[in-house]
């Protein structure tokens, strides 16, 4: 501790920009990402999923009646036994993100390239952020491609172009999906700093993802029962319990993703929480919300996703700065 405070006093600032060389890292890592076998596998998987689910949805939709948001249904309509495309994305995106980043830092240590890299005139910041951004851009590129494929397929199979509002909603949807991937990207990057073995880092990332996807819902229910039990049955007690349950379940990025995507792709959703009858006074039930109102509805979700990404990345950043190079 003494050494640290001393350093803080003696060292006013570091020389030069911490981002020197970052774009070189981004370029190299993106090239690696896009040409790697693991990415090809995941891309193929995602494209197949997209085509399969959209085709199934289109079949369903053609038999249905008139719907002002036909294009949005393309993403959300499920045909048993397959889930809808957004459902698939809920686990494909974390998988792609984890695959992109689980060996980001420990891979450099294992290849023994780390000391050669860091002896170039760059800071560690540039390496870490460069790798993260390369992952995010790759993810964005892949998701945008699939997004375009689906819209193209939609125009062909449904025979109508999307409306301006639908395109707007779909663009927001794309953004939410990318930031949902961002969380898992930063989780995997963090584990790639903590664990020396890439396999361990991958497993740990998947374990965290499974925990939030499968178990967190159950744990949230249990915690709610314990923390806000219904003793008498007053309305206040019930409301308190439901609110707590919602708050707890929204710790999981999956819940944030599902809520946000639902509100964006289904304009009829007016609220993501508990709605009391008094709050509905004057509301025109059954009328869809305009886009800006839907975005307002999920604004906390989007900021939550981005904040979590930054927070986890920052934790990894601190750990990486303190890491000794000689391993």
Partner 1 sequence: MDEVVLEARGLTKRYGDFVAVDHLDLTVRQGEVFGLLGPNGAGKTTTILMLLGLTEPTEGTVRVLGFDPVRQPLSVKARVGYLPEQLGFYEGLTARENLIYTAKLNGLRRDEAYRRIDEALEQIGLSHAADQPVSTFSRGMRQRLGLADVLIKKPEIIIMDEPTQGLDPGVAQEFLEIIRNLKAQGITILLSSHLLHQVQAVCDRVGLFHRGRMVLEGTVEELAQQVLGGAYRIHLEAEGPKEALEESLRRLEGVVKVERMDTKAYLVEARRDMRAEVARAVHEAGGALLSLDMELPSLDEVYARYFEQEVNDGSAD
Residues of this chain that interact with partner 1 (CB under 8 A) are 3, 7, 11, 14-16, 20-21, 24-25, 27-28, 32, 111-123, 324-326
Q: Which is nearer to partner 1, 7 or 66 (CB)?
A: 7
Residue (of 290, 303, 213, 295) closest to 258 by Cα position: 213
What gap in Å lies between CA 159 and CA 131, rounded to an integer?
A: 41
Q: Which is nearer to partner 1, 65 or 121 (CB)?
A: 121
CB 189 to partner 1: min, Å = 19
Distance of alpha carbon 180 from its chain centroid, rounded?
A: 1
CB 113 to partner 1: min, Å = 4
DSSP for 89-142, written as a single string? HHHHHHHHHHHHHTTTTHHHHHTT-HHHHHTSS--HHHHHHHHHHHHHHHHHHH
Residue that is written with structure tokens 């109102």 in the block? 293
CB 25 to partner 1: min, Å = 8
What gap in Å lies between CA 88 and CA 49, rounded to an integer?
A: 7
Residue that is written with structure tokens 């305009």 in the block? 290
Q: Which is nearer to partner 1, 125 or 259 (CB)?
A: 125
Q: Which is nearer to partner 1, 62 or 116 (CB)?
A: 116
Q: Which is nearer to partner 1, 262 or 319 (CB)?
A: 319
CB 185 to partner 1: min, Å = 21
CB 327 to partner 1: min, Å = 9
DSSP letter (8 states) at residue 84: P
Non-local (6+) Cβ contacts of 193 within 8 A are 105, 106, 316, 319, 320, 323
What gap in Å lies between CA 188 and CA 280, rounded to an integer?
A: 43
Q: Which is nearer to partner 1, 44 or 113 (CB)?
A: 113
Residue that is written with structure tokens 């301006």 in the block? 164
CB 104 to partner 1: min, Å = 14
């Amino acid at each position: 501790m003494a050494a640290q405070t001393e350093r803080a006093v003696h060292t006013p600032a570091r020389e030069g920009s911490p981002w020197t060389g970052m774009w070189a890292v981004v370029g190299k890592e993106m090239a690696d990402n896009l040409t790697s076998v693991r990415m090809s596998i995941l891309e193929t998987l995602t494209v197949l999923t997209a085509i399969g689910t959209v085709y199934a949805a289109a079949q369903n939709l053609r038999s249905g009646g008139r719907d002002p948001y036909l294009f949005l249904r393309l993403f959300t309509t499920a045909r048993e036994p397959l889930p809808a495309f957004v459902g698939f994305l809920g686990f494909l995106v974390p998988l792609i993100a984890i695959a992109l980043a689980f060996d980001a830092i420990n891979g450099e240590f294992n290849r023994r390239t780390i000391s050669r890299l860091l002896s170039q005139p760059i800071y560690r910041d540039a390496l870490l952020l460069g790798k993260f951004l390369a992952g995010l851009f790759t993810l964005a590129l892949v998701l945008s491609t699939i997004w375009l494929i689906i819209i193209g397929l939609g125009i062909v199979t449904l025979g109508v172009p999307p409306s301006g509002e639908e395109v707007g909603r779909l663009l927001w949807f794309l953004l939410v999906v990318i930031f949902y991937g961002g969380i898992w990207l930063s989780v995997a990057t963090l584990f790639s700093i903590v664990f020396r073995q890439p396999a361990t880092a991958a497993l740990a990332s998947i374990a965290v993802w499974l925990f939030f996807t499968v178990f967190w819902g159950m744990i949230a229910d249990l915690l709610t029962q314990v923390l806000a039990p219904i003793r008498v049955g007053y309305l206040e007690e019930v409301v308190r319990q439901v609110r707590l349950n919602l708050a707890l379940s929204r710790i999981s990025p999956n819940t944030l993703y599902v809520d946000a995507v639902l509100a964006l792709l289904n304009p009829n959703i007016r609220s993501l929480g508990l709605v009391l009858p008094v709050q509905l006074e004057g509301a025109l039930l059954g009328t869809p919300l305009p886009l800006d109102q839907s975005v307002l509805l999920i604004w906390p979700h989007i900021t939550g996703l981005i904040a979590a990404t930054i927070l986890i990345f920052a934790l990894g950043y601190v750990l990486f700065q303190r890491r000794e190079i000689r391993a």
